[in-house]
Amino acid sequence: MKLIAAMSGGVDSAVAAARAVEAGHDVIGVHLALSSNPQKYRSGARGCCTIEDSHDARRAADVIGIPFYIWDMAEEFHDGVVEDFLSEYAAGRTPNPCLRCNEKIKFAAVLDRARAMGFDGVVTGHYARTEIGPHGKTLHRAVDHSKDQSYVLSVLTIEQINGAIFPLGDTTKVDIRKEAEERGLAVAQKPDSHDICFVPSGDNAGWLRDRLGSEVGPIVDQDGTKIGEHKGAYTYTIGQRKGLGLTVPTADGSPRFVLKIEPVTNTVVVGSREELAISLMKGERPVWCGPAVDSEHKRGFVQVRAHGAALPCTYYFNDTLLVAELDEPLLGLATGQAMVIYDGDRVVGSATICETA
Amino acid sequence: MSGIYLDHAATTPMLENAIAAMDAQLRTLGNPSSLHTQGRHTRKDVEDAREILAKELDCLASEIIFTASGTEANNTAIKGIYWQQKALGKNVVVISAIEHHATLDPAQWLAEHEGAEVIYAPVTKDGVVDLVFLRNLVAKRGSEIALISIMHANNETGAIQPIAEIVKIAGNIAVHTDAAQSFKKIPLSFKSLGVMALSISAHKIGGPLGIGVLVLRRGVEIPALLHGGGQEREIRSGTLNAPAIVALATAAQDKSYDATAIAKIRDDFAARVTQVVPGSFVNAINAERLPGIVNVTFPGTQSDTLLLLMDGEKVSCSTGSACSAGVHRPSHVLMAMGHDEISAMSSLRFSFGRTSTQADCDGALAVLPSVITRGRAASGV
């Protein structure tokens, strides 16, 4: 096949590209320039698409022996990922920008462009697997569960999965680094990136404050009694316990947690640990990574964070929303996050959480 | 490496005799600044090369300053002349809007760090500097102008600039010209142009990478960028790169660049490209141009996509400029000629050289229609 390998300048995408070449594909390396004002150097585990990263990607492509180009996707990234991130926070939800990037950039803008140019698909260094089965090509967890990235890929439609190649899904990260070393790739020991790539300082709250302002608002308990003040409701996360700055203790001295963020009134609602517990979630804008989910109640697992646990549940689609009923209650779940349904290690689909109970 | 190479304006194959001259010099021991036998021997080779170049450039041997690149020659001239003139109270630097980054950036640096005011002379829609603008500017602010730096021929479109006219307009004002693209492609005489300074680069004419020349009028003393042994008139220090200098002189003497034949292939390409790709057009078509360069706009495409697809078809050509991160940017040259951003990002430069053949032209034209079709599809998504 003729493939575009998305090369970030990190070890994973470099090995993925090398493996695709070895599998006999005709591969071209592409580095996505996602920031319109790239920084010169990468600082630790933060940030990406610095000039240094694009050099690393180019060097890896040269060592592998494939052509290499840089694609400017800064505008698409800003509109589709950064703006979305901001507006979700402004609406009191907690978005996952990596998921949005896969949905709108890597497997949309890039894949569409690649296909128009006559390529068959996009290779990335994501830790996930695909299988060809009775339902066509399906998306599965990586063998290395600690690195599994199927969660952030759960927004891919069947059409997008058909154009995606994940050569690393069968290997552990440790072995990928070893393999990179053996292949003579200088990025073999480059640190993993963790934080949000477009917040190079790593200070998410500060970054949000700079852009959304820091309007002071009340912190209230479940009865609506004001017990404190905050500086910008969106910098809080559901389930957050630390950093609330509350001086009025609870009657029994038990800690308080953020239960809800109400953007319209700029209010943060806090309560006890018990009040955080939810056993039902509903998600909007579902995407099916295989056969569509219907009203039939099925047993499976739901995952609500990129590296969270797979929680046993019963799931179904009620015509507008994807519903998951948990076997065991879960503490602290923010709307805006993705609920991803698994059937064993197969990704069934995902939706954006809009309601919990 | 097989394929069709249509990027001779970026760099062109080194001449065999230049390689041989360089190889021989690499095997010769001696620092040209040393006083002993070996040093004197190498010094003679360097000075022979200087005299050959002086003849080719129509200047005095003592006017030649060897540098490590055309970029260094430009920086030395622009910054040096500016500093010299700044001391006399002049701080305006005039360049054209279509200069190479090796001129644009030093001028901008002077504005940011050294108190210069940079004025960009506009160009016509055919990419030639507007002489009326220059005349008015000199009439109005001549006493403030430290330097005028305008390229001899543009690297993206090939449009030749009226340097002799500009020198006349400038009067007593110092004029520098970047002749990296035009040297050995069209007649070039330092003396007849009348400029104070002129830059060239070896690898554009079949010489090696890493060597350039600043021709600086005899008697002109400007501050140096590099300080050290003072080898080149105290304006440029650093051990002279004898192998590259000798190879450059050899390349400069070469007579195999057939401008008429190259222009014929280029013209054939230009005429047929607009036939095989309806809607495409040649930029600076009414300007007097270098024989080897043609710049074509393909509406509805993005040139970085086209370059990738052409590369995939084993045809090498070029987009305008890229920023330091390698991200494709609209060509400032085409923008100055009246293109909008989208149109300025839909153009490719094809440049022909000594080794180009009619088969190269035919081969590139054969793959272009399918490349343009895919390129248009990709920019539509």
The verdict on B312 touching A (C-beta cutoff 8 Å) is yes
Residue A120 in tokens: 């068959």
Distance separating alpha carbons of residues B351 and B158, to the nearest angstrom = 9
Distance of alpha carbon A93 from alpha carbon A86, whole angstroms: 10
Residue A347: name the closest of A99, A129, A189 by CA: A129
What's the gap in Å between the CA of A191 and the closest CA on chain B? 21
Contact map slice: A 22-41 vs B, CB within 8 A? 28, 31, 33, 38
Whole-angstrom CA distances from A173 to A20, A57, A180 are: 17, 18, 10
Which are the contacts of B168, defined by CB distance < 8 A and separation ≥ 6?
B194
pLDDT at A331 over 60: yes
| A229 vs A239: CA distance, rounded Å | 17
Report whether B71 contacts B126 (CB < 8 A): no
Residue among A295, A275, A165 at smallest CA distance from A221: A275
Taking only the tens place, the pLDDT of each residue in A79-129 is: 999 999 999 988 888 889 999 999 999 999 999 999 999 999 999 999 999
Chain B interface includes A120 (CB < 8 A): no
Residue B71 CA to chain centroid, in angstroms?
9
pLDDT at A43: 54
Separation CA B29–CA B41 (nearest Å): 9
What is the distance between the alpha carbons of residues B205 and A245, in angstroms, rounded to a whole number? 71
C-alpha to C-alpha distance for A7 and A156, rounded to whole angstroms? 19
Cβ separation A54–B307 shorter than 8 A: no
Q: Which residues contact A74 (CB under 8 A, 6 or more apart)?
A: A33, A34, A35, A36, B327
Per-residue pLDDT at A214:
83
A48 is catalytic: no
Integer Cα distance of B297 and B285 in angstroms = 12
Q: Which residue has the tokens 């330092």?
A: B190
Residue of A48, A197, A289, A313 marked catalytic:
A197
User: Which residues of B60-137 form beta strands (DSSP E)?
Assistant: 64-67, 92-96, 117-121
Q: What sign does the dihedral A321-A325-A326-A329 (CA atoms) show? A: positive
Tokens coding B123: 């160009």
Amino acid residing at A67: P
> Does ipTM surpass 0.90 in this model?
no
Beta-carbon separation of B308 and A72 below 8 A: no
> What confidence category does residue A45 fall into, taking pLDDT thresholds of 50, 70 and 90?
very low
Q: Give CA separation, A205 vs A47, A99, B16, in Å.
A: 16, 20, 63
Burial of A176 (0-12, 13-18, 19+ CB in 10 A): buried
- Contact B1/A at CB under 8 A: no
- Which amino acid is located at B91 in the chain? N
Nearest to B288 by CA among B158, B163, B189: B158
Q: What is the CA radius of gyration of chain A?
A: 21
**pLDDT above 90 (res A195):** no
Calculate how close chain B gets to A207, using CA atoms only, in Å: 24
Q: Decide if A74 touches B, using CB distance below 8 A.
A: yes
pLDDT given at position A91: 86
The span from the CA of A126 to the CA of A160, in Å, is 14
Secondary structure letter of residue A80 according to DSSP: I
- What amino acid is encoded at B77 in this protein? A
Given the structure tokens 């017990």, which residue do they identify?
A227
Main-chain dihedrals φ then ψ at residue A285, nearest 5 degrees: 50, 60
Query: What is the least distance, in Å, from the CA of B300 to any CA of chain A?
Result: 14
Q: What are phi and psi of A132, to 5 degrees?
A: -100, 120
Among candidates A28, A38, A112 on the partner chain, residue whose Cβ is nearest the Cβ of B325: A38
Euclidean distance between CA atoms B259 and B356, whole angstroms: 11
Asked if B326 lies within 8 A of A109 by C-beta distance, the reply is no
**Alpha carbon B83 to its chain's center:** 23
Q: Is B308 on the interface with A (CB under 8 A)?
A: yes
Q: What is the mean pLDDT of residues A327-332?
A: 93
Q: Give the integer Cα–Cα distance in Å for A314 and A318.
A: 13
Which strand ranges, in their side-by-side order, compose the sheet holding A2-6?
A68-72, A26-33, A2-6, A121-123, A164-165
Chain B touched by A113 (CB under 8 Å)? yes
Rounded to the nearest angstrom, the minimum Cα separation between A40 and chain B is: 9
A330, β-bridge pairs: A278
Percentage of chain A surpassing pLDDT 90? Answer: 66
Q: Taking Cα atoms as reference points, which of B113, B110, B50 lies closest to residue B81? A: B110
Burial of residue B199, with CB atoms counted within 10 A of its CB: 0-12 exposed, 13-18 middle, 19 or more buried: buried
**A to B CB pairs, distance under 8 Å:** 49
Q: Do B381 and A109 touch (CB under 8 A)?
A: yes
Helix/strand/coil percent split, chain B, to 5: 45, 15, 40
Tell me the CA distances in angstroms from A147 to A130, A141, A172, B311, B326, one per residue in order. Answer: 16, 9, 8, 36, 31
Which of B309, B317, B327, B379 to mutate to test binding with chain A, by most A CBs within 10 Å of its CB? B327
In whole numbers, what is the pLDDT of chain A averaged over residues?
91
Residues of A in contact with B309 (CB under 8 A): 117-118
Is some CB atom of chain B closer than 8 A to the CB atom of A112? yes
pLDDT of residue A245: 82
What does the block give as tokens for A59?
């060097």
The rounded distance, in Å, linking the Cα atoms of B248 and B66 is 10
B378 to A28: CB separation less than 8 angstroms, yes or no: no
Q: What are phi and psi of B343, to 5 degrees?
A: -65, -35
Q: How far apart are CA A46 and CA A194, in angstroms?
A: 6
Question: Which long-range contacts (C-beta less than 8 Å, at least 24 apart) are formed by B191-195?
Answer: B191/B58, B191/B59, B192/B58, B192/B164, B193/B152, B193/B163, B193/B164, B193/B167, B194/B164, B194/B167, B194/B168, B195/B163, B195/B167
Compute the average pLDDT of residues A295-323.
96
Angle of CA points A195, A199, A204, to nearest 5°:
80
Strands A164-165 and A121-123: parallel
Q: Which two tokens stand for residue A289?
A: 């990574």
Q: Are A3 and A123 in contact (CB under 8 A)?
A: yes
Helix (H) or strand (E) holding B358, with range, is: helix B358-380
Give dist(CA B99, CA B304) in Å, integer: 21
Residue A46 has pLDDT above 50, yes or no: no
User: Tens place of pLDDT for every residue, chain B, 381 residues?
Assistant: 579 999 999 999 999 999 999 999 999 999 999 999 999 999 999 999 999 999 999 999 999 999 999 999 999 999 999 999 999 999 999 999 999 999 999 999 999 999 999 999 999 999 999 999 999 999 999 999 999 999 999 999 999 999 999 999 999 999 999 999 999 999 999 999 999 999 999 999 999 999 999 999 999 999 999 999 999 999 999 999 999 999 999 999 999 999 999 999 999 999 999 999 999 999 999 999 999 999 999 999 999 999 999 999 999 999 976 666 677 889 999 999 999 999 999 999 999 999 999 999 999 999 999 999 999 999 877
Do the Cβ atoms of B377 and B18 come closer than 8 Å? no
Q: Do B325 and A116 touch (CB under 8 A)?
A: no
Res B325: pLDDT: 62
- Number of other CB atoms surrounding residue A308 within 10 Å: 14
Give yes or no for a contact between B3 and B315, defined as CB atoms under 8 angstroms apart: yes
CB of B305 within 8 Å of a chain A CB? The answer is yes
Contacts A69 to B, Cβ<8 Å: 304, 307-308
pTM for the predicted model, two decimal places: 0.90
Exposure string of B163-197, with b = 16+ CB inside 10 Å and e = fewer, is: beebbebbeebbbbbbbbbbbbbbebebeebebbb
Torsion sign (Cα): A80, A85, A88, A90: negative
| Beta-carbon contacts of residue B325 (< 8 Å; ≥ 6 apart) | A33, A38, A51, A54, A70
For A335, other C-beta atoms within 10 Å of its C-beta total: 22
Beta bridge partners of B137: none
A54 contact residues in B (CB cutoff 8 A)? 325-326
